[in-house]
Amino acid sequence: MPGPKLTAAHVARVHRVIADSGPAPGVEQQTDADYAEWVERILRDHPSPGAPIQLFAYGSLIWKPEIEHRAEQPAVARGWHRSFCLRMHRFRGTVDRPGLMMALDRGGQCRGVVLELPPEDPALQLDRLFRREFTVKPINSMPRWLRVETPAGSTTALGFVMNRASPYYAGRLLPEEVARTLARACGHWGTGAEYLLNTVTQLEARGIRDAGLWRLQALVAEEIDRMP
């Protein structure tokens, strides 16, 4: 089966070194107290207190988890789909040229993986995870317990779903519009093209081919090829 059209060479063409400009003026940031409240809330609602936390990963958490995990298995979250619906003015975009990142939005289903976190000190693990996943108020990627299907059966896993009330919610965009954005957006974390390529590559390595992402990576490659 042919590989993706989007390549590391495409990513190198659009990469730029961009300094982190920090939080945008006037944007309220999550505080230590906010993170502590989210940790307490999620642990309180854990359906199996004391059991290791299962984390549903569908994008960059697969290839850049930044937290230790001791097991991985394929999983499907029904009622949610991965979507480039999170507008970014930082990280993989700038205020002048915003980027897009994926979030779980309502409807459909999403094939990903479940990562089992170590049982030790779940509060510390969640605090690190939450500081990675959301930074501003109102929250954009909301932690939530999801029912997912695995080869071993149904289980509950922690996932991050899009808050449609967030001012960074981009809604449903045409694939061509997403491709134009990803082909040009870059922040201090890197480009939108790199983010997409890493996700497609890691999903493919696990036998997961998301038809929408597969089409999107080809569109981004074509968009970059048309650039001067």
**Does residue 33 surpass a pLDDT of 60?**
yes
Q: How many residues does the chain have?
A: 228
Within a domain: 87: yes
**CA 52 to the chain's CA centroid:** 22
The token pair at 11 is 């990513």
CA distance 60 to 189: 12
Q: Domain of 35?
A: 8-225
Helix (H, G, I), strand (E, B) or coil at 159: strand
Rg (CA), the chain: 17
β-pair type (141-150, 186-187): unpaired
CA distance 126 to 142: 13
**CA 217 to the chain's CA centroid:** 16
- CATH code at position 71: 3.10.490.10
CA distance 161 to 167: 15
Position 69 confidence tier, pLDDT thresholds 50, 70, 90:
very high
Q: Say what the pTM is.
A: 0.94
The share of the chain scoring above pLDDT 90, in percent, equals 90
- Measured over the CA atoms of residue 70, residue 71, residue 76 and residue 82, the dihedral's sign is positive
Within a domain: 137: yes
Position 49 confidence tier, pLDDT thresholds 50, 70, 90:
confident
Position 1 confidence tier, pLDDT thresholds 50, 70, 90:
low
- Residue 125 has, within 13 A of its CA and on its CB side, a CA count of 19
Within a domain: 2: no
Within a domain: 1: no
Within a domain: 3: no
Q: Given this model, what pLDDT does residue 3 score? A: 74
Tens of pLDDT, residue by residue over 113-172, are 999 999 999 999 999 999 999 999 999 999 999 999 999 999 999 999 999 999 999 999
Helix (H, G, I), strand (E, B) or coil at 121: coil
Within a domain: 150: yes
- Residue 17 has, within 13 A of its CA and on its CB side, a CA count of 0
Q: Which amino acid, residue 216?
A: L
Helix (H, G, I), strand (E, B) or coil at 219: helix
In 3D space, the residue among 87, 81, 110 whose CA is nearest the CA of residue 99 turns out to be 87
Three-state secondary structure string covering 44-113: HCCCCCCCCCEEEECCHHHHCCCCCCCEEEEEEEEEEEEEEEEEECCCCCCCCCCEEEEEEEEEEEEEEE
Count of the separate structural domains present in the chain: 1
Within a domain: 121: yes
